[in-house]
Structure 1
Amino acid sequence: QISEATDAPEAFVAKILQPLSKKGILISNKGKQGGFTVDLDKIEHIKIIEIILATDGEEIFTRCAFGLEKCSSEKPCPFHFTYKPIREGLKSSLSEISIYDMALKTEQGEAFLKI
């Protein structure tokens, strides 16, 4: 259903969903009618940041905008002090919105997962 709704290949979707299952965000159901489900009692509490951390790790919130390894507040790249609050704002926003919030916006036609 997810791959159909987003026009993404099933193998790609499954590869993304596997780490979410390992972290307990999704439930993996094996067998002929298997797939992935989410505990509807928990869906309002699963924040988007949990999904990002499970699939991509913390790096998106810590890495340099230019990809420099040694960029820090002590030794900043030219964009460091501009980019740092953007990263922090993104992390904060993703910590507030849940899967349920996004699903509701999509279902109500306020947001879209495919064009």
Structure 2
Amino acid sequence: MFSKSCEYGIRASIYVTKHSLKNKKVSLKDVAKHTDSPPAFIAKILQKLVKTQVLSSFKGPTGGFYVSQEDLKELTLLSIVLAIDGDGIFENCTLGLRRCDGQKPCPMHSKFIVIRDEMREMLESTSLKSLAEDVSDGITFLKR
């Protein structure tokens, strides 16, 4: 459903958020290690998330990636998906047709539009903070 980049971006953002809850920054090396992500690939993804202001970074010996305390309250999964994959998952035709809408729907249009709306609502209402707390509490995991 999501691109591989988006999957890695979500895992990395949850990991960064988990440490940001404790006012800690994390290095690229730590993110890659604790999310089973290739370092060069995750570096590009983290760069994109910083550029789109989903995450923040600080250079230097005490630097790393983090989520600001203000953003911890508002950051949702939707912001990551939009930053990495864009809104195509909500706009494009399920079957890849150039045009697909209510006027000229593809065979799956009416069924998928319901799923797409529910997914958007779930992504909008799921905070990274809640996901990071579940990881911290050992309820969920970022790697196996």
Normalising to structure 1: TM-score of the pair? Answer: 0.89
Corresponding position of 1:101: 130
Q: Is the CA contact (8 Å cut-off) linking 1:106 and 1:113 kept in structure 2?
A: yes
Corresponding position of 1:48: 77
RMSD of aligned Cα (Å): 1.5
Q: Does 1:8 align with 2:40?
A: no
The Cα of 1:39 is off from its aligned counterpart by: 1.1
Q: Please, which runs of 5 or more residues in structure 1 have no aligned partner?
A: none
Greater relative contact order (CA < 8 Å, ≥ 6 in sequence):
2
In 1, distance between residues paired with 2:31 and 2:123?
A: 21
Q: Does 1:29 align with 2:64?
A: no
Corresponding position of 1:60: 89
| Percentage of matched positions with identical amino acids | 39
The Cα of 1:42 is off from its aligned counterpart by: 2.0
In 2, distance between residues paired with 1:110 and 1:42?
A: 23
Q: Is the CA contact (8 Å cut-off) linking 1:44 and 1:101 kept in structure 2?
A: no
Which digits, 9 at most, give the CA deviation of each residue in 1:12-55, with x for residues without a partner?
Answer: 11111112111222112234554322113421211110111111
Q: Does 1:112 align with 2:116?
A: no
Query: Aligned ranges for residues 78-93 of structure 1 at < 5 Å?
Result: 78-93=107-122
Q: Does 1:77 align with 2:77?
A: no
The Cα of 1:4 is off from its aligned counterpart by: 1.1
In 1, distance between residues paired with 2:90 and 2:99?
A: 15
In 2, distance between residues paired with 1:45 and 1:34?
A: 23
Q: Please, which runs of 5 or more residues in structure 2 have no aligned partner?
A: 1-29
Which digits, 9 at most, give the CA deviation of each residue in 1:57-94, with x for residues without a partner?
Answer: 11111111111111111111111100011011101110
Q: SS of 2:73's equivalent?
A: helix
Normalising to structure 2: TM-score of the pair? Answer: 0.73
Q: Is the CA contact (8 Å cut-off) linking 1:48 and 1:94 kept in structure 2?
A: yes
The total of aligned residue pairs comes to 115
